[in-house]
């Protein structure tokens, strides 16, 4: 892992080309069980008070990209409500400790966002305990690889949409009554929205929906001073991948087909989420920023 992500260096070698062994975790997977471990900026991200006094709700904040964003936001001065599944408590505890080490508030709200009632409760609890919400990061996602459409059952298709799309809709709708002018909504879409893998039909379809939701809602809310943008990651090393998000033959070669030649680390995503949450991006809305290792968006 890089010692100084701010020093000029070759991005090809900034992080090692991962030597990923065959491995499996039960869904949704834990960061603590990844081989090799991912970098979320725990030792590298340095803040500059760009989000001082802000109040953020982040879904999927225990691991992967959400974990990196939570760490970065805390180091920029934000208090954070973390949403995650109860089975991910061990990972969440580590993130909570890192947030509190920065002197920021960490509100832990475990539960399943694929349930509408919980999604609404999540927003109410976050707003109550944080004293409001002015950053919403819809990041939690479900990804399961199925090679043939004939083997993709309706239960999985619906569950993927409930987690990735319906929850975003429920949470965002509930949060609007709290979001003031100047607030920012940031959704996690994917390169899969534009370049879908054959075995990720349901996942890629949800990411297409998130992209469209972002474009449309950004235009709708612009006059209210609320910005809506999305980040589209490429192959990023997170627990989604070994928890049946990729077939084994692709898992061990994960990210090697990018122009940069390696998988990305969650720490490489966090600055984009900070930028989109901060006032530095005041004239950016309805946009999608790709962080893809060179497999560009249209």
Tell me the residue range of the domain where 92 lies: 26-38+46-291
Question: Would residue 159 count as lying in a domain?
Answer: yes
Q: What's the pLDDT at 7?
A: 86
**Torsions phi, psi of 66, nearest 5?**
-60, -40
21 found inside a domain: no
- pLDDT of residue 120 exceeding 90: yes
Asked whether residue 197 is assigned to any structural domain, the reply reads: yes
Catalytically active residues are 203
Tens-digit pLDDT profile for residues 127-184: 999 999 999 999 999 999 999 999 999 999 999 999 999 999 999 999 999 999 999 9
Which of 218, 134, 219 shows the shortest CA–CA distance to 180?
134
Whether residue 239 lies inside any domain: the answer is yes
Contact yes or no for 235/254 (Cβ under 8 A): yes
**In this structure, is residue 271 part of a structural domain?**
yes
Is 15 part of a structural domain of the chain? no
Q: In terms of Cα–Cα distance, which of 246, 240, 211, 235 is closest to 294?
A: 235
The predicted structure's pLDDT at residue 3: 62
Q: Dihedral of the CA atoms 69, 73, 74, 75 (nearest 10)?
A: 100
| 8, part of any domain | no
Residue 194 has pLDDT above 50, yes or no: yes
User: Would residue 9 count as lying in a domain?
Assistant: no
The domain tally of the chain equals: 1
Cα 68 from Cα 38, distance rounded (Å)? 10
pLDDT digits (tens, 9 = 90+) for 80-114: 999 999 999 999 999 999 999 999 999 999 999 99
CATH number of the domain enclosing 274: 3.40.50.720
Largest distance between two CA atoms of the chain:
51
């Amino acid at each position: 892992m890089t010692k100084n992500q701010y020093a000029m260096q070759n991005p090809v070698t900034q992080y090692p080309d991962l030597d990923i062994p065959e491995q499996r975790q039960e869904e949704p997977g834990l960061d603590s069980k990844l081989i090799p471990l991912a970098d979320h900026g725990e030792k590298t991200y340095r803040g500059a008070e760009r989000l001082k006094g802000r109040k953020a709700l982040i879904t999927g904040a225990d691991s992967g990209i959400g974990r990196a964003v939570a760490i970065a936001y805390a180091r920029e001065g934000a208090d954070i409500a973390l949403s995650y599944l109860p089975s991910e408590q061990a990972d969440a505890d580590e993130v909570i400790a890192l947030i509190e080490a920065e002197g920021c508030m960490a509100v832990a709200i475990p539960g399943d966002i694929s349930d509408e009632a919980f999604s609404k409760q999540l927003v109410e609890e976050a707003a109550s305990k944080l004293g409001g919400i002015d950053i919403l990061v819809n990041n939690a996602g479900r990804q399961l690889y199925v090679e043939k459409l004939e083997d993709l059952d309706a239960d999985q298709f619906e569950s993927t949409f409930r987690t990735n799309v319906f929850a975003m809709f429920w949470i965002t709708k509930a949060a609007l009554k709290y979001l003031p002018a100047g607030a920012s909504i940031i959704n996690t879409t994917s390169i899969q929205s534009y370049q879908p893998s054959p075995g990720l039909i349901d996942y890629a379809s949800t990411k297409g929906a998130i992209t469209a939701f972002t474009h449309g809602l950004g235009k709708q809310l612009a006059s209210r001073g609320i910005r809506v943008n999305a980040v589209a990651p490429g192959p990023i090393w997170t627990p989604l991948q070994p928890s049946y998000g990729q077939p084994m033959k692709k898992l061990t070669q994960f990210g090697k087909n990018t122009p940069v030649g390696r998988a990305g680390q969650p720490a490489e995503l966090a600055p984009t989420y900070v930028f989109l949450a901060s006032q530095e991006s005041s004239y950016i809305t309805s946009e999608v920023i790709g962080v893809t290792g060179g497999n560009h968006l249209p």
